Chain A
Amino acid sequence: MNTHLRKYFRQEHLPHIWCPGCGNGIVTAAILRALDRLGWEKDRTVFVSGIGCSSRAPGYLDFNTLHTTHGRALVFATGVKVAHPNLNVVVITGDGDASAIGGNHLIHAARRNIDITTICFNNSIYGMTGGQYSPLSPTDSVASTAPFGNTDRSFDLCRLVEAAGASYVARGTTYHVTPLTKLIERGFEKRGFSFVEAITACPVYFGRRNKMRTPVEMLEWQKDAAVPITRAQKMDPEELAGKFVIGTFVDIDMPEYTESYERLLREHASDRGGG
């Protein structure tokens, strides 16, 4: 066990349930390093997750942890944050959890710009149920429910969240783990809705079906397919085909939901007697 991060784990619950080479642990450790740098207190931090492989992460973390229903992590997190605005609230979700069944909640959490940091572990597949295609599975990729190749178009979730109004939007990969950690740290620092998409590997259900036979090959793919945003801006769409852009897409300051509501509370607290 990494001595530096040891204190953040519920060590009695390790080793984790994830498959060999699954990138979820890489993202989880990056999250811990980011909050460690910021000195976040365990008692004041709540991790909320939905359903899926990535959503098992909070169970291993020695914080206030809430493992909810499929797609709904953000709504439970919203309740926690609105009721208790002084808590740090982090949502851990997967690509299917966040973009399919939970897509509407993602849009509206971003629209409210509520101070929740959402880390989306994007492994391009529904892993927990055995490898069905998700809205983030690339077109033509093979999945158990797309045996002849995926005919759906895939989502650019960062662009969706940006359009919905989040204060901070970024994408990183488990190969580029040092920049990923910095993106997450910046998301934590941001007052407002922060969204970090972490491209991570599912070697068992995505890789093996898509000509990446080992965890190492999947990280090689992340290395080769990722284009830093500064470079991507100078490239045309044909050059970017089959690639994805990493880096910071949005980093702006806007009114945050709970702060706006606290102001309303101060202004209207004495409108009419007590309760």
Chain B
Amino acid sequence: MSESGRRLMQGNEAVVEASLVAGCRFFAGYPITPSTEIAELLASRLPQVGGRFIQMEDEIASMGAAIGASLAGTKAMTATSGPGFSLKQENLGFAALTEVPVVVVDVQRMGPSTGMPTAPSQGDIMQARWGTHGDHPIVALCPASVGETYAATIRAFNISEALRVPVVLLLDEVIGHMREGVAMADAQNVEIIDRKGPSVSPSEFLPYADDGTMVPEMAAFGEGYRHHVTGLFHDETGFPDMSAAVAKSLMQRIMGKLDAHRHVYEWTEARDTEEAEVLLVTFGSPAQAARSAINRAQREGMKVGEFRLITLWPFPEKALREAATGARAVIVPEMNLGQLRLEVERVMGCATPVYGINRTDGDIFKPDEIYQGIVEVYSG
């Protein structure tokens, strides 16, 4: 990248620049607030690096085209917001089952429905995990700043390529449109992971065989490894097989590959958790207001810690449990009615109460309201 250095940019622009560093050379999209800048910028940036941009007729088409490009051997991305994310779900499930690397950016806005298109939200947390039908593997990252968005975008591609899994990059309207100085990466100094290609000849190639890593080798269309890709359950040859034994082993492998490679995608940050009596579990842009509230509480002598999730799914269960050891209460501030709190409660069990601080009015958190929440729980 010739443009390493520091630049003032929006979160949406950080996604664009980082995706190019990560090797993205295909983008299919559809205009939607507040993610549109990603499409607009890539429409001019991709041709400059020999990549291809296409504006499709709808969100469903954008998701399908990105998967098609990835199958042809090109790193691919699409970007959207709530209503579009809903439409992408079926093809997202196709990518999960057929193990096609693809990155989907969801710049969250207030829903449901058309909702409040320019208002931030974290209302798609559960949709990112369970939006498509059936049990399926998926990874979701949720950065808390523009700079972190840049890093998370590169990581999203790396995870997707390394594990052959769709990765959802969850921004929110605040992150998408906020401007910050970002340290741009130098392509030579960043780890870029590419999918592993076939290690055998075409006649020996089995497109869904487990080579011991649970992540099959992947051949691109046109490389001489003619194979079949289907959204039906399939055996290691890639052809449909509806037998119970094949279905079971396929499901075990595609879910198991995430369990087996937790280090590839798990990304959390613990701060002052050892002594903490009250632990805040934070993610996304509210983490910034939460940080300032925690600092104030600590200055006033409260033993408050922070456990911040960048990886939301698969949920960093063990890391949370460790961070929460000793805490008598947990607080989850989020711009929804408590979606991640459900998951935190599940992990904490009955022993530790989990409280939510929630906003669903389209406004952002002020540090003071989180501070008030901390005081209430701390003294309660």
Residues of A participating in the B interface, judged by any CB pair closer than 8 Å? 10, 13, 42-44, 46, 48, 58-59, 62-69, 72, 75-84, 86-87, 104-105, 107-108, 261, 264-265, 268-275
Residues of A within 8 A of B216 (CB): none
- Is residue B8 contacting chain A, with contact meaning CB distance below 8 A? no
Q: A84-B222, A275-B49 are in contact. Are A66 and B71 (CB under 8 A)?
A: yes
If over half of A's interface residues share one DSSP class (helix, strand or loop), that class is named, otherwise mixed; here it is mixed
**Which residue of chain B lies nearest to A79 when distances are taken between CB atoms in the complex?**
B68
Q: Are A67 and B231 in contact (CB under 8 A)?
A: yes
In the complex the two chains form, what is the Cα distance from A178 to B73 in whole Å?
37
Verify B69–A46 contact, CB threshold 8 A: no
Q: Does B20 contact A (CB under 8 A)?
A: yes
Given contacts A13-B239, A72-B91, A82-B26, contact A59 B48 (CB under 8 A): no
- Chain B residues within an 8 Å CB radius of A108: 56-57, 61
- Assess the B20–A275 pair: CB atoms within 8 A: yes
The CA-CA distance from A76 to B231 in the complex, in Å, is 13
Distance in angstroms from B315 CB to nearest chain A CB is 28
Contact A67 B91 (CB under 8 A): no
B186 to chain A, nearest CB (A): 12
Task: Give the interface size class of chain B.
Answer: 35 or more
B72 touches A80 (CB 8 A): yes
One of B3, B66, B222 near A86 (C-beta < 8 A): B222
B interface residue numbers (CB < 8 A to A)? 1-3, 20-21, 25-26, 28, 44-45, 47-52, 54, 56-58, 60-74, 76, 90-91, 94, 187, 220-224, 226-232, 239-240
Q: Which of A43, A58, A78 lies in contact with B54, CB distance below 8 A?
A: A78
Q: Is the CB of A59 within 8 A of B57?
A: no
Contacts of A65 in B (CB 8 A): 226-229
CA distance A46 to B226 in the complex (A): 9
Q: In chain A, what residue has the closest Cβ to B202? A: A43
Bound together, the chains give a CA A181 to CA B363 distance in angstroms of: 62
- Which residues of chain B are within 8 angstroms of A105 by Cβ–Cβ distance? 57, 61
A-B contact count (CB 8 A): 156
- CA distance in complex: A50, B351 (Å): 50
A84 to B221, CA, bound (A): 9
Q: Assess whether A78 is in contact with B50, with CB atoms less than 8 Å apart.
A: no
A275 touching B67 in the complex, CB below 8 Å, given contacts A58-B228, A83-B26: no
- Chain B residues with Cβ below 8 Å from A275 are 1, 20-21, 45, 48-49, 51, 187
Q: Is the CB of B65 within 8 A of A76?
A: yes
Chain B residues with Cβ under 8 A from A63's Cβ?
A: 226
Which of A68, A87, A269 is B94 in contact with, Cβ under 8 Å? A68
Kindly report which residue of chain A lies nearest to residue B28, judged by CB atoms.
A79
With A80-B68, A105-B61 as known contacts, state yes or no: A273 contacts B48, CB within 8 Å: yes
B50: chain A residues within 8 A (beta carbon): 265, 269
Which A residues are CB-close (under 8 A) to B231? 67-69
9 contacts between A and B (CB under 8 A): A42-B226, A69-B94, A78-B56, A80-B68, A83-B26, A268-B44, A271-B44, A271-B47, A274-B48
- Contact: A43 with B71, CB < 8 Å? no
Q: Which residues of A contact B94 (CB under 8 A)?
A: 68-69
Residue of B48, B90, B221 touching A46 (CB-CB under 8 A): B221
Contact among B2, B21, B62, B222 with A44 in the assembled complex (CB-CB below 8 Å): B222
CA–CA, A107 to B57, complex, Å? 9
Q: Most chain-A Cβ atoms within 10 A of its Cβ — which of B20, B65, B231?
A: B65
Query: Contact check: which of B58, B73, B239 meets A104 at CB < 8 Å?
Result: B58
> Which residues of A sit under 8 angstroms from B223, Cβ to Cβ?
43
Chain B min CB distance to A47 (Å): 9
Give the shortest distance, in Å, between A91 (CB) and chain B (any CB).
11
A80/B221 in contact, CB under 8 A: yes
User: Which residue of A is nearest B3, CB measured?
Assistant: A273
Q: Which residues of B contact A274 (CB under 8 A)?
A: 1-2, 48-49
- For B45, list chain A residues within 8 Å (CB): 275
Q: Are A76 and B67 in contact (CB under 8 A)?
A: yes
| A218 nearest CB across to chain B (Å) | 27
CB distance A43 to B65 under 8 Å? Answer: no
Give every chain A residue within 8 A of B226 (Cβ-Cβ): 42-43, 62-65
Known interface pairs A87-B221, A87-B222. Does A67 touch B61 (Cβ–Cβ under 8 Å)?
no
Nearest B residue (CB) for A262: B52
Considering the complex, give the chain B residue whose CB is closest to the CB of A257: B54
Other-chain contact of A72, B61, B72, B220, B239 (Cβ < 8 Å)? B61
